[in-house]
Amino acid sequence: MSNMQEEKEELIEMFGIHFETHHRLSPLSARILSLLIVENCKSGLTFDDLVFKLGASKSSVSTNLTLLLKMGKLEYHTLAGDRKKYYKPSSFGDRMRTYLQIVLDEKKMVKRMLDYRKKTTENPIQCSNLEMLKVYQDHVIEFESFLSKTIKKLDKIEK
């Protein structure tokens, strides 16, 4: 096995472990996403390519592709005259928009919690918790701004 092939396999494994650990994906879902990222094919990989390269059963690959598509981690396209689907990872911009939506939801909850705490805070310990919540709110707002800027940059490159 060549050094480049070994490096590629190590990258797929590294990404796979990352997706399992931090994105709570199943091992096969994580490997599918990792393979698609590392392969970086403009055209994408077909279902049969994934089955062959991963050495997994067709039903397992199919189930995990469906999950990844529902989660917005993958997208696919077809070619005229070809009945196959070609799978690719979702664009960086789309993946960042998913994170941005999480941040926006959290921002809304933190604001509501702050409003509630301001009405119900009575003792010094609660005041301390209120201050920590304000610090967290500032973080969420800054992170929203950062993600929005990153999305704009990615959109320029990806379009």
DSSP secondary structure of 102-149: HHHHHHHHHHHHHHHHHHH--SHHHHHHHHHHHHHHHHHHHHHHHHHH
Task: Specify whether 15 is located in the same domain as 68.
Answer: yes
Give the 3-state secondary structure of residue 84: strand
Domain count, the chain: 2
Query: Which pair of tokens denotes residue 114?
Result: 């702050």
**Residue 83 CB neighbour total at 10 angstroms:** 6
Per-residue tens of pLDDT for the chain, all 159 residues: 789 999 999 999 999 999 999 999 999 999 999 999 999 877 899 999 999 999 999 999 999 999 999 999 999 999 889 889 999 999 999 989 999 999 999 999 999 999 998 888 777 677 778 889 999 999 999 999 999 999 999 999 987
Task: Specify whether 10 is located in the same domain as 65.
Answer: yes
Task: Specify whether 76 is located in the same domain as 101.
Answer: no
Task: Specify whether 105 is located in the same domain as 72.
Answer: no
Task: Specify whether 23 is located in the same domain as 69.
Answer: yes
Task: Specify whether 16 is located in the same domain as 78.
Answer: yes
Domain of residue 20, residue span = 3-90
Dist. CA 140–CA 57, nearest whole Å: 42
Task: Specify whether 77 is located in the same domain as 131.
Answer: no
What pTM does this model have? 0.81
CB 81 within 8 A of CB 128: no
Q: Which residue has the tokens 């800054």?
A: 142
Task: Specify whether 71 is located in the same domain as 102.
Answer: no
The CA distances from residue 1 to 6, 9, 36, 116, in Å, are 7, 11, 21, 61
**Residue 100 CB neighbour total at 10 angstroms:** 18
Query: Which pair of tokens denotes residue 145?
Result: 């701004």
Task: Specify whether 99 is located in the same domain as 86.
Answer: no
Query: Which pair of tokens denotes residue 138?
Result: 């500032």
Task: Specify whether 23 is located in the same domain as 78.
Answer: yes
Q: What residues contact residue 46 under an 8 Å CB cut-off, 6+ apart?
A: 84, 85, 86, 87
